[in-house]
Structure 1
Amino acid sequence: MSEQEAPKIEFPCEDYPVKVMCNSGEHVHEYVVSVMHKHVADLDVERITVRESSKGRFMSVTFFITATGVDQLEALHVELRSHKDVHMVI
């Protein structure tokens, strides 16, 4: 059986979703948003969605960005994951 290649993304890619799973708290939310502003010049804050877990310990923050390239996405991922309260970046 042959291995499938990952789908190719054409850049710029509008409405590219980035979801960050992290501990709940204003400090981590502010950190995540500041990182996104740093890497996404035209970040639309109106499209940010935040969902809390049922017990309120965790939250997911979803952004829709215009991805400009692999370098941008890798830099976002590395910087977001560097925070101790961020568990996953999808």
Structure 2
Amino acid sequence: MSEQEADTLMEFPCDFAIKAMGPTSDDFDSIVVGIILQYVDSIKEGSVKTKQSSGGKFTSVSVDFHIESKQKLDEIYHALSEHQQVKYIL
């Protein structure tokens, strides 16, 4: 285990869920999934859930995936936060 991984309560590799929110568009879910797929091997069918806000202006995309390391998880968070359409990440 690296020193960086010792600084977290999580044990890697592990299954993880992330939620990204942004303005509703035709491709927001594809953007989020595409970013995550740059850092993980695959995302299982049924592991992506999309929900629009009550007014329809915003969409949340929840993705469950298997992550190998804290570094990869940090890279996912960073890449999502850098995208102009992603407004919030949980």
Q: Shorter-chain TM-score: which interval?
A: 0.7 to 0.9
Q: Which residue of structure 1 aligns with residue 69 of structure 2? A: 69
How far does residue 61 in structure 1 lie from its aligned partner after superposition? Answer: 0.4
SS, match of residue 66 in structure 2:
strand
Q: Which residue of structure 2 aligns with residue 3 of structure 1? A: none
SS, match of residue 25 in structure 1:
coil
SS, match of residue 84 in structure 2:
coil
TM value normalised by structure 2? 0.83
Give the root-mean-square deviation of aligned CA atoms.
1.6
| Runs of at least 5 residues in structure 1 that lack an aligned partner in the other structure | 1-5
TM value normalised by structure 1? 0.83
Residue 10, structure 1, aligned to residue 11, structure 2: yes
Q: Which residue of structure 2 aligns with residue 30 of structure 1? A: 30
How far does residue 42 in structure 1 lie from its aligned partner after superposition? Answer: 2.1
Aligned equivalents of 1:58, 1:45: Cα separation in 2? 23
Aligned equivalents of 1:22, 1:73: Cα separation in 2? 20
Aligned equivalents of 1:40, 1:56: Cα separation in 2? 30
Q: State the number of aligned residues.
A: 84
| Runs of at least 5 residues in structure 2 that lack an aligned partner in the other structure | 1-6
Aligned equivalents of 2:65, 2:33: Cα separation in 1? 12
Counterpart of 1:38, as a letter, is Q
Aligned identity (percent) is: 23
